[in-house]
Amino acid sequence: MSDAVRQWIAAAKHLVVLTGAGMSAESGVPTFRDALAGLWAKFSPEELATEQAFRADPQRVWDWYVSRREAVAAVQPNAGHAALAAFQSRHSGRFALITQNVDGLHQRAGSVHTIALHGALSEDRWLDSARACCTADSIEPGRPPRCSVCGNLRRPSVVWFGEQLPAPELGAAEDAAQHCDLMLVVGTSGVVYPAAGLVLSAHQHNARVVMINPEPTELDRVADACLRQPAAVCLPSLLRA
Ligand code: APR
């Protein structure tokens, strides 16, 4: 089946790749629906990755994100990230990368113009609408940092459960999904929308869909091929041309 997929990739006029947490698993970054590691094992992402959880206990949520930032800073992009960046450099006119991941590993591997649907773990923003006093100079260190004048908190610049995805990124992703003729879906369980809906949209617009995941997913039902392989093994082999 991999040979057929290689031929599809060679022939594709517009190739879109959509990645999820499994893309970073071989870099040592736990996927979302793996058990939360260590200190956080007693929480679920849904209990931490929401605005309500942050407002209820800013320090606990802030500390969780700091621990994730430190974990991601300590790992490296894997061969799958590198293969995607190298392929893009050879085929930039017919390639788009959409990611649900906030770990920044695609960008660190050299991918450019990555459509980051769920934001960036490495960035912060104001929790409430910034007032005139809320500037970079007014940020007071803390867990979390806050505005030294009005007390507005800083929060991770990621999309929390229940929040809207950034409209520019979502629009670009929907456009790419609707106009591609091949979509590789790598390392996602396909249970979170609207990201998972991009796969259905590609399928409905007559694109071929290829799942790259060691496990079955919710989206296999619309796939033309399911490659039961890890991303860091499969992508270098598929994208070598
Ligand atoms: N290669 C490819 N896929 C892998 C690998 C690997 N080495 N290891 C695990 N996987 C697969 C798992 O089988 C699973 O299907 O990666 C998928 C990870 O699924 P989730 O943990 O649900 O992560 P994801 O699909 O990215 O979650 C989507 O949900 O929690 C929210 O915002 C968060 O972006 C996240 C979104």
pLDDT digits (tens, 9 = 90+) for 36-77: 555 556 677 778 899 999 999 999 999 999 988 998 999 999
Percent of the chain surpassing pLDDT 90:
87
Please indicate, yes or no, whether residues 171 and 227 belong to a single structural domain of this protein. Answer: yes
Read off the tokens for 93.
Answer: 């006119």
3-state helix, strand, coil in the chain (%, to 5): 45, 20, 40
Please indicate, yes or no, whether residues 220 and 191 belong to a single structural domain of this protein. Answer: yes
Please indicate, yes or no, whether residues 22 and 41 belong to a single structural domain of this protein. Answer: no
pLDDT at 30: 78
Q: What is the C-alpha to C-alpha distance for residues 64 and 8, in angstroms, rounded to an integer?
A: 41
pLDDT at 35: 47
Identify the active-site residue in 14, 118, 203, 205.
Answer: 118
Cα–ligand 1 centroid distance for 184 (angstroms) = 14
pLDDT at 241: 83
Domain of 219: which CATH number? Answer: 3.40.50.1220
167's torsion region: left (phi>0), alpha (psi -120 to 50) or beta? alpha
Closest C-alpha among 1, 14, 19 to residue 190: 19
The whole-chain average pLDDT of the chain stands at: 94
Average pLDDT over residues 160-169: 96
pLDDT at 43: 76
pLDDT tens-digit map of 186-207: 999 998 899 999 999 999 999 9
Cα–ligand 1 centroid distance for 131 (angstroms) = 37
Q: What is the C-alpha to C-alpha distance for residues 38 and 42, in angstroms, rounded to an integer?
A: 9
Q: Which residues pair with 225 in a beta bridge?
A: 210
Q: What backbone phi and psi angles, to 5 degrees, belong to 18? A: -115, 125
Question: Strands 182-186 and 15-19, how do they pair?
Answer: parallel
Domain around 46: 30-74+124-158
Cα–ligand 1 centroid distance for 135 (angstroms) = 36
How does residue 209 score in pLDDT terms, banded at 50, 70 and 90? very high
Please indicate, yes or no, whether residues 147 and 219 belong to a single structural domain of this protein. Answer: no
* Ligand 1: residue whose CA is nearest its atom 15: 189
* Ligand 1: residue whose CA is nearest its atom 4: 22
